[in-house]
Amino acid sequence: MSTALKVRPVGSSLGVILPKDIVDRLRVDAGSTLAVTETPDGIQLTPYDPKFAAAMGAFERVRRRYRDTLRELAK
């Protein structure tokens, strides 16, 4: 899929307007945060944040390992 988007001024920055079909495919709405990642093939725009996913993965490992300790701390 290839779609041409026009870059427009937005205040003192630049922005693009995403067509509805792209917004639907990204499953985002107004106020959503998108992650921009540079890849060997270009720029990737996604609602998935790799840093947040890595942090949640680390939390899950700690939570499994220290389940009983966390339960006691919560009392």
Give me 45's structure tokens: 């725009």
Give the 3-state secondary structure of residue 34: coil
- In the chain, the percentage of residues whose pLDDT exceeds 70 is 99
Q: What does the mean pLDDT of the chain come to?
A: 89
Lowest mean pLDDT segment, chosen from 15-19, 38-42, 49-53, 58-62: 49-53
Q: What is the separation, in whole angstroms, between the first and last Cα of the chain?
A: 53
| Entry pTM | 0.55
Q: What is the pLDDT of residues 7-35, one digit of tens each?
A: 999 999 999 999 999 999 988 988 888 88
CA 70 to chain centre: 28
Q: How far apart are CA 49 and CA 4, in angstroms?
A: 25
